[in-house]
Amino acid sequence: MDWNPRPLESGNVTVHRRGRGQPLVLLHCLGQSWRFWDVLEPLTDRYELIAYSLPGHADTPLPAGQYDQEATTRQLKELAEREGLTRFHLAGISMGGSLAQHFAGTHPDMVEKLILCDCTPRYNEESRANWPVRAKIAREQGVTALIPMLLGVFFTPGSVAGNGPNVRHVVETFEACSGEGYALACEWLAMVDAREQAKRIEAPTLIMLGSEEREAFKEAAAWMQANIPGSRGIVEVPAAGHASVRERPEFCVAQFRDFLG
């Protein structure tokens, strides 16, 4: 894979804020948008939920080209400063969780508490080799071509069969996702390596993942538990796949509330 990352803009990114209380910044997963976190609405009684769409996703324009983990961390810092956020809780899932680790280890003074869902600081070699393949499909056929495979990863078979509102939301967001935006994010995922930053995280950290998550993510959770100094343990979300927060929102809301205090 050719790799030529460029800086990211922050002035063209819309930040969405709702609720009142302690700020909680939320970073979504590949192919989704800031609305992935709508299921955390019950938390707005105590926290201000702050979210934006990652580069080339939903209401955030396509970047000029490839971008790396330093660029996404710099963009998040610029957005936080623009929004007047000096210290906040931070949560990320999948791609957002990898970014959250890099950011929290780079700017430990800005993160009060950290929640990492269904993520890894670095993908294994098999996954790293597969990301450019997936990027090629997204560019040539669109993200829709990947949905059958993605559903089996994001949700358990029972949820897919039930086709409830959370499954439909994820599918509709995939259908609307830019193929190029998705592909560029795949290339980011192929190159991300936040292991050294993870070891520098100072914030108390909760690690969460679906009980039916793939083995590579279970191994990653164990690595994070062993290497993040402030890790408070691993919580398995029952009967959930990769999109654990969206599949079992009531359970996850309770875990967020209990951990954040």
Q: Are 197 and 108 in contact (CB under 8 A)?
A: no
- Whole-angstrom distance, CA of residue 19 vs CA of residue 99: 24
d(CA 191, CA 19): 35
Report yes or no: 197 and 122 within 8 Å, Cβ to Cβ.
no
- CATH fold, domain 16-260, is Rossmann fold (3.40.50)
Which pTM was predicted? Answer: 0.98
Residue 225's Cβ-count burial label (10 Å; 0-12, 13-18, 19+) is middle
Q: In whole angstroms, what is the distance from residue 107 CA to residue 73 CA?
A: 9
- Helix boundaries (H) for 87-200: 95-106, 125-141, 147-154, 157-162, 165-176, 179-191, 195-198
| Average pLDDT in the chain | 98
Q: Which residues of the chain have pLDDT under 70?
A: none
- Sheet order of strands, 111-117 included: 16-18, 47-51, 22-27, 88-93, 111-117, 205-210, 231-237
Query: CA 165, CA 77: separation in Å to the nearest integer?
Result: 33
**CB distance 20 to 48 below 8 Å:** yes
Query: DSSP character for 87?
Result: S
For the CA atoms of 15, 187, 231, 195, the dihedral, rounded to the nearest 10 degrees, stands at -130
Enclosing H/E stretch for 49: strand 47-51
Alpha carbon distances (Å) from 149 to 54, 165, 174, 246, 249: 22, 19, 12, 17, 22
**Residue 227, pLDDT score:** 98
User: Taking the domains of the chain in order of start, what are their residue ranges?
Assistant: 16-260
In terms of residues, how long is the chain? Answer: 261
